[in-house]
Structure 1
Amino acid sequence: MSSTTESPATTPETGLGTPPKTPTARPRGRRALKVPRAFYWMVVPAVVIFFTLHTIPVLTGMFFSLTNYAGYGTWSFVGLSNYLNLFLDSRVLNSYGFTFFFAIVSTVLVNVISLAIALGLNANIRFRTAFRGIFFIPYVLAILIIGYVFNYLFANSFPAIAEGLGLPAGNILADPQFAWVGIVVTTVWQAAAFNVILYLAGLQTIPGELYEAAAIDGASSWRRFRSITFPLIGAYFTINMVLSFKSFLQVFDQIVALTNGGPGTSTESIAMVIYRGGFQGGEYGYQMANAVIYLVVIIVLSFLQLRFLQRREATT
C-alpha cells in the first residue's frame, strides 16, 4: 500500500513553495484601547473627595430646602412653600437687587481698569517686570484682611485727609446710600490683579508685525486698539468677564469686613442673607431653598454670558 504525499503548492513565477504570509496589522478593538487599571485608581481619591465634600452637601441642602428644618430639632416636609415664600420676602429680593447691582458695576470697572493697566504694562516702559509683581500683590492677600484695612482707611484716614483739604469729611461706609461705593472700591482694587495677568497673557500673543503695519498705514492708537488689540484678546476678555461676574455675585467677605451688611440691611448680599438666616436665624430649610435658587441663577447667567461673548468673538 503506497502512501501519497502532497507536494506544496508552487508559484508560477518561481516554482517554490507557498511563501509565508506577511504579518498583518493588529486588529483595533476594545482590547487595543483598554486603559490600564492604574489610571482608574489614580482618579478614585479625587472622585471620592469631590463626592463627599461637594455632591453630598449639595444634595443634602436640596433635600432640606423642602422642609421647615431650623438647623436643629425636628422637621417636616413643606414641599415648595419655601421657594414660593422667597418671592414674597422683601429682604431676599433687596439682597438680590443689591448683589446684581454690585456685580455689574464691579465687573465693568475691574475689566476696564485691568485692561488699561495691562496695556500700560505691555508697553516698553522701564521696570515693567517690577510693576507686574507689584500689581499682583493685592490678589495674594486675603480679601478679609484687605477689607479690614480698607475699613480703617474709610473710617479714619480718608476723613482726616478730606478734613485737611477742606472737603466734607465722613465715613462713607456709614452712609446707607453710598456704602456700596466703599465695597466696590475695595473689591476692584483686589480683583484687578488677576485680570491684569490674564490680559497681559493675551496681549503677548499678538504679533508685533500687525502694529507695525497699522502704524505704516497711519492708524491711530484708538484705531489699533479697536481693530487689532481688542478683537485678538476677545477670548481673554470673555473669560475675565465670566469669572469676574460669577465671583462678584458671590460677594461675602468684603461686606463682612467693611459694613457687615449695614447700615441697616442696605449692603446685604445674597450670600450674607443665606448665612445669617440659615446659620444664625433658625431658617436653615428656608435659606437652603434660597441657596438652590442662587446656584441656578449663577449657573444660568454664567452660561448665557459665556454664549453671548463667544458669539461676539466669532463676529469680530
Structure 2
Amino acid sequence: MIIPALVLFFSFHTLPVLQGIFYSFTNFKGYGNWDFIGFQNYINIFQDDRAYNAYFFTFKFAIVSTVLVNVISLIIALGLNAKIKFKKTLRGIYFMPNILSILIVGFIFNYIFAVFIPDIAENIGLTALTTSILGSRDYAWVAIVIVAVWQAAAFNTILYLAGLATVPHDLYEASSLDGASTWQNFWHVTFPLIAPFFTINMVLAMKNFLMVFDHIVALTGGGPGRSTQSISLLIYEDGFAGGQFALQSANAVIYFVIIVTISIFQIRILQKREVQL
C-alpha cells in the first residue's frame, strides 16, 4: 500500500534532489551539453559577492524574524490563554493570517507600504514616511520582516496555546499560595513546561525564514538593487533565468547543508535547556 506513495515521493522529491547534486559537479546551463568540472562550482560560490550579500541578508532577516515571531506569539498565546471573553473567536481571528496565500498577503502589504502609508503620511505632514520604505536599500528588509512576522505569528501562537493547555492549573494555585509574582509564575512554572513547544517553534521558524522567497517576490523582488535578495531568490533567478543552473545547484546543496546543520544545532542546544529547566 505504501509503494505508490514511495514512488511519488521519490519521483518528485528524492530524484530532483539527486539530479541537483549531480549537476552541481558539471557546467550544465539548464539546456544543451555539459561536462564534469568537479568542485569548481563550489569554489566559485565562495568567491561570489552576490552570494555573500544574499547570505548576509538572509541570516539577518531570519534571526530578527525568528526572535520577534516567538516573542510576539508567546505574548499573544499567554493573553489568549487568560480568562477573557470571546477566547475561541479571538483564536480563530489570530490564526487567519496563516491560511492566506503568502503572495496575496505580500501584494496587499506592497500596496500598503507603497501607496497607503505614504498618502496618509503626506496628509498629516509626516515627511519621514511620504516615501515608500520598499524603495530604501537600508530599510526595505524591515518591511519584509513586518509582513513575515505578522503571518508566521499565527501558526506559532497555535503551538504555544497547545503547550499552555498542558500546564496543570494546580501548579499556579500552589505558586500563588507561595506568593509568586506573575513573572515568577511564567519563568519558573509556565516556560519550563512549554519548553518543548518553544524548541519546535524556534527550529521551524528559523528554517522557514531561512527559506524566505514569496514575501520578497511580492514586496521587493529582491530590490532595490539586490539589497533584499535571499538565497532562495538568488538560486531561482540566476539558476533558471541567468544560465547558472549548475552553479546555483551547488549553492542549493551548500544551503541545504547549512539549514540542516543549524536545525540540528538548535535542537541539541534547546533540548539541553529543556533538561536543565
| TM-score, normalising length: structure 2 | 0.98
Aligned to 1:133: 92
Whose radius of gyration is greater, 1 or 2? 1
Which residue matches 1:149? Answer: 108
Q: What secondary structure sits across from 2:30 in the alignment?
A: coil
Alignment of 1:34-53 (within 5 A): 42-53=1-12
Which residue in 1 is equivalent to 2:197? 236
Q: In the alignment, is residue 58 of structure 1 matched against residue 17 of structure 2?
A: yes
Amino acid of the residue matched to residue 62 of structure 1? I
Among 58, 74, 78, the alignment partner of 1:115 is 74
1:314 aligns with 2:275: yes
**Aligned mates of 2:85, 2:276 — CA distance in 1:** 37
Aligned-pair identity (%): 60
Once the two structures are superposed, residues 278-303 of structure 1 have per-residue CA deviations (whole angstroms, 9 ceiling, x without a partner) of: 10000001110000001111111101
Three-state SS of the structure 1 residue aligned to 2:227 is coil
Q: Say which of 170, 185, 193 aligns to 2:146.
A: 185
CA deviation after TM superposition for structure 1 residue 201, in Å? 0.4
Structural mapping, 1:40-119, within 5 Å = 42-119=1-78
| Higher relative contact order (Cα pairs below 8 Å, separated by 6+ residues) | 2
How far is 1:166 from its partner?
A: 2.4
Give the deviation of 1:43 after TM superposition.
Answer: 1.3
What secondary structure does 2:34 align onto?
coil
Between the aligned partners of 1:141 and 1:114, the Cα distance in structure 2 is 18
CA distance in 2, matches of 1:162, 1:105: 27
Q: State the SS of the aligned residue for 2:156.
A: helix
Give, in angstroms, the shift of residue 162 of structure 1. Answer: 2.0
Shift of 1:165: 3.0
RMSD over aligned CA atoms reads: 0.7
How far the C-alpha of 1:315 sits from its partner, in A, is 0.4
The TM-score with structure 1 as length reference comes to: 0.86
- Which 5+ residue runs of structure 1 have no aligned equivalent? 1-41
**Residue-by-residue CA offset, 1:139-188 (whole Å, 9 max, x unaligned):** 00010110000000000111122223321221000000000000000000
Partners of 2:153 and 2:124 in 1: how far apart?
29
**Match for 2:205: what amino acid?**
S
Distance in 2 of aligned mates of 1:166 and 1:112: 33
What is the match of residue 300 of structure 1?
261
Q: Secondary structure at the match of 1:126?
A: coil
SS in 1 for 2:28: coil
How far apart in 2 are the matches of 1:94 and 1:273?
A: 10
Residue 216 of structure 1 deviates from its aligned partner by 1.4
- Report runs of 4+ in structure 1 exceeding 6 Å deviation: none
2:212 aligned partner: 251
Partner residue, 2:187 = 226
Give SS of 1:69's match. Answer: coil
Question: Which residue is equivalent to 2:173?
Answer: 212
2: CA distance between counterparts of 1:280 and 1:253? Answer: 17
Amino acid at match of 2:160: Y
In the alignment, the residues of structure 2 paired with residue 61 and residue 225 of structure 1 have an alpha-carbon distance, to the nearest angstrom, of 47
1:270 aligns with 2:231: yes
Structure-1 separation of matches of 2:120 and 2:268: 46
Question: In the aligned structure 1, how far is the partner of 2:262 from the partner of 2:271?
Answer: 14
How many matched pairs? 275
Q: Distance in 2 between matches of 1:65 and 1:134?
A: 45
Residues 205-235 of structure 1: CA deviation (Å, up to 9, x unaligned): 1011111111111111011000001110000
CA offsets, 1:263-289, max 9 Å, x none?
000000000000011100000011100
**Cα distance in 1, alignment partners of residues 123 and 72 from structure 2:** 29
